[in-house]
Amino acid sequence: MLKVLKFGGSSLADAAQFRKVADIIKSEKERRYIVASAPGKRFSSDIKITDMLLDCFEHLYDEEYTDTSFTAIENRYREIISDLGLDYSLEEEFKNIRTAFVNHAGRDYFASRGEYLNAKILAKYLDYKFVDAGSCIFFNNDGSLDTEKTNTTISKVLEKYEYAVIPGFYGSMPNGTIKTFSRGGSDITGSLVARAVLADIYENWTDVSGLLMVDPRLVENPKTVSEITYRELRELSYMGATVLHEEAIFPVRKAGIPINIKNTNAPEDKGTMIVSKAITESSENVITGIAGLPGFTAIYIEKDMMNSEVGFTRRVLETLENHNICFEHLPSGIDTMSIVLRSDDIKDFKGNITADIVKKVNPDSITLLDNLALVAVVGRGMISAAGTAAKIFKALADANINIRMIDQGSSELNIIIGVEEKDYIAAIKAIYNKFVNEE
């Protein structure tokens, strides 16, 4: 059994958190490869080290500002080291980073130093080998990840060490300079390491006990999802549910490695298991989660006999392509079709698009509906549970909410409903209550 663990910023924000992390790691000898984030917030108004570093970079030409800000960063690390009682110094490293400031090194280099320094401390504290991500995670010149080189290098390097700490969030470019992933990217590092060492599980340690069925800002105290498939998670994250960096799913998914979202502050909680194939055929409440997003626009097109007009849809979609716009959903009837788009994407060319569609397909009518919100009800259990859709519609009808659009994905994994933005939160609440509280 081999486990790869990634600890997020709040799990490594100060010495007290470092102690919890070490206890977790040392409690199982299978917990061998550890990916560390930069120190995050210790309290809500605190600033993450990554943000402090980026701020330093923004003021690179203001030496006094950079000096004071970087001293504050150094002090956070010094405090962790002394509070842990470590006989260890990062002073040389600080000096190197200061020199890089003077030499105007790149933005990503500075951003990455947060994880670099934190992983050094963690490796020392655990007495594990420190392995620099810059020497085993590689990007191509176009900025994409060199997946195979990364995979073989990580596995070759880690083969030499039974236990190691690797900083998250960055790798190197073909010319050796440092490049980071997008924000939150340590999740991706963890996933890459897990795949490369063929881990049995990728434990992603954070400050919540897993994914919640619904955004807790919308529904009070929602249930935690105990098991979710990668596909279900994809549907929910697309609609705004966040628990993990979106791109972190792919490496482990490819290798069939489950992810366990765990809470550093409540390690006994089971958390959420993200798996390729769920052990339970359906979530306890049939639905696994609900997520929603406002800010959509629908274009409704009607034309008699449109279904027998060859190339009709293509011509409509071509107008979007010409404006370089992606559509989100395309529910269609016999003589009607609707295109759901992100309002922000089309706000500058609404008139042009409808005029183009009229020119191309000469519809009987075309209407634009703004202020639409989409609500996705996701659950692998829907395939086998009759009446799920009826229950959703009943919940909305009881709450007096008008449904403007319905779309069931061909995977039968989700039902997407369009409602007016003003009804969006009420809709999510109503659906949650129907499935969770009325059973």
Alpha-carbon torsion (129, 147, 175, 77), positive or negative: negative
Task: Name the minimum Å distance from CB 169 to ligand ASP.
Answer: 4
Beta-carbon contacts of 242 under 8 Å, excluding residues fewer than 6 positions away, are none
Nearer to ligand ASP, 237 or 285 (CB): 237
Task: Name the minimum Å distance from CB 102 to ligand ASP.
Answer: 24
Q: Position 429: which residue type?
A: K
Report the C-alpha gap between 281 and 189 in whole angstroms: 30
Nearer to ligand ASP, 9 or 258 (CB): 9
Task: Name the minimum Å distance from CB 115 to ligand ASP.
Answer: 6
Summary count for the chain: helices (H), strands (E):
14, 15
Nearer to ligand ASP, 35 or 273 (CB): 35
**Which ranges of 160-295 would DSSP assign to H, the alpha helix?**
186-196, 230-238, 249-255
CA torsion 57→63→68→71, rounded to 10°? 70
Task: Name the minimum Å distance from CB 120 to ligand ASP.
Answer: 15
Beta-carbon contacts of 11 under 8 Å, excluding residues fewer than 6 positions away, are 17, 20, 21, 37, 40, 205, 206, 207, 264
Task: Return the closest-CA partner of residue 404 out of 249, 281, 296.
Answer: 296
Nearer to ligand ASP, 168 or 271 (CB): 168
| Residue sitting closest to ligand ASP (CB) | 186
Nearer to ligand ASP, 96 or 182 (CB): 182
Task: Name the minimum Å distance from CB 9 to ligand ASP.
Answer: 5
Beta-carbon contacts of 217 under 8 Å, excluding residues fewer than 6 positions away, are none
Report the C-alpha gap between 46 and 108 in whole angstroms: 22
Please give the DSSP secondary-structure letter assigned to residue 129. Answer: E
**DSSP labels, 361-386:** H--SEEEEEEEEEEEEEE-GGGGT-T
Nearer to ligand ASP, 264 or 354 (CB): 264
Nearer to ligand ASP, 130 or 435 (CB): 130
Report the C-alpha gap between 101 and 225 in whole angstroms: 45
Residues forming contacts to ligand ASP in the complex (CB under 6 A) are: 8-9, 37-38, 48, 50, 114, 168-169, 183-187
Task: Name the minimum Å distance from CB 39 to ligand ASP.
Answer: 9
Task: Name the minimum Å distance from CB 262 to ligand ASP.
Answer: 16
